[in-house]
Homo-oligomer: A and B are copies of this chain.
């Protein structure tokens, strides 16, 4: 049984060249026995909201003590802080402090956060001192590897600062009446084109909705209604015929939209973010 901490990486670097390999080479040069797991390297470029959401989406399923490295970093080489955070429930995240901790801060809570001390926890003597544009390799990956391997303690990452100062985006909350739930399309499933709302299924159920109901679904983008249809509210999209749109409880217990064996996002041209509002209404 290894005593080293597991490492899980997510970035927007893509996997088409050896950018990721250079970063992982640095990790394995810190400690040959570190275990690296890919989350994804295909986050939407420069999209800090997605970085934050995806980090939160997977974290809870990993063993405590795992070190996550998240690098979506449009401000690399500028003033944004580079940090390592420890959640209330015992996970580590090494990341630019640019909003990437939004969901984890909100849902897990941050017990402690430290700014990476570049004088000791940045890669040196590798011929890369002069570059400021690949902190995934030279700073985040390197520092996280030292932490995961036990070369440094969490305290040795650098000076602590107040978790309240962590940069966080707004997470819009859903609202409910007896007959309606109103929220936003929070994010998509980029593979199947399902759309995840910020409405909790349990909250819908507690307001008298039930699986098997037909419900009215309206999506508004800015001022324009872009989708309006009655849909079945079901527990799994496989319960309706292929090609049918459906409202279902997704794997994160959020109310979501799918087309069975199809792609809701592409079929109806729906995006995500705070501009994309959704209203679910009971059909009497």
Chain A positions within 8 Å of B, measured between CB atoms, are: 1-2, 6, 8, 10, 12-26, 28-29, 32-33, 36-43, 45-46, 50, 54-55, 57-63, 66, 74-78, 126-128, 130-134, 137-138, 189-192, 201-202, 235-239, 242, 248-253, 260-261
**Copies of this chain in the oligomer:** 3
Complex: how many Å from CA A216 to CA B112? 47
Q: A14-B190, A24-B37, A190-B14 are in contact. Are A235 and B42 (CB under 8 A)?
A: no
Collect the chain B residues with CB atoms within 8 Å of residue A32's CB.
Answer: 1-2, 6, 63
Tell me, in angstroms, the Cα distance from A10 to B25 when the chains sit together: 14
A40 CB contacts on chain B under 8 angstroms: 15-18, 20-21
A266 to chain B, nearest CB (A): 12
A14 and B191 contact, CB distance less than 8 A: yes
A32 to B24, CA, bound (A): 20
Contact of A33 among B1, B41, B138 (CB under 8 A): B1
List the B residue with the shortest CB-CB distance to A61: B25
Once A58-B18, A60-B126 are accepted as A-B contacts, the answer to whether A78 and B239 lie under 8 Å apart by CB is yes
A77 touches B236 (CB 8 A): yes
Q: Are A8 and B21 in contact (CB under 8 A)?
A: yes
Q: Which of B58, B60, B249, B260 contacts A130 (CB 8 A)?
A: B249
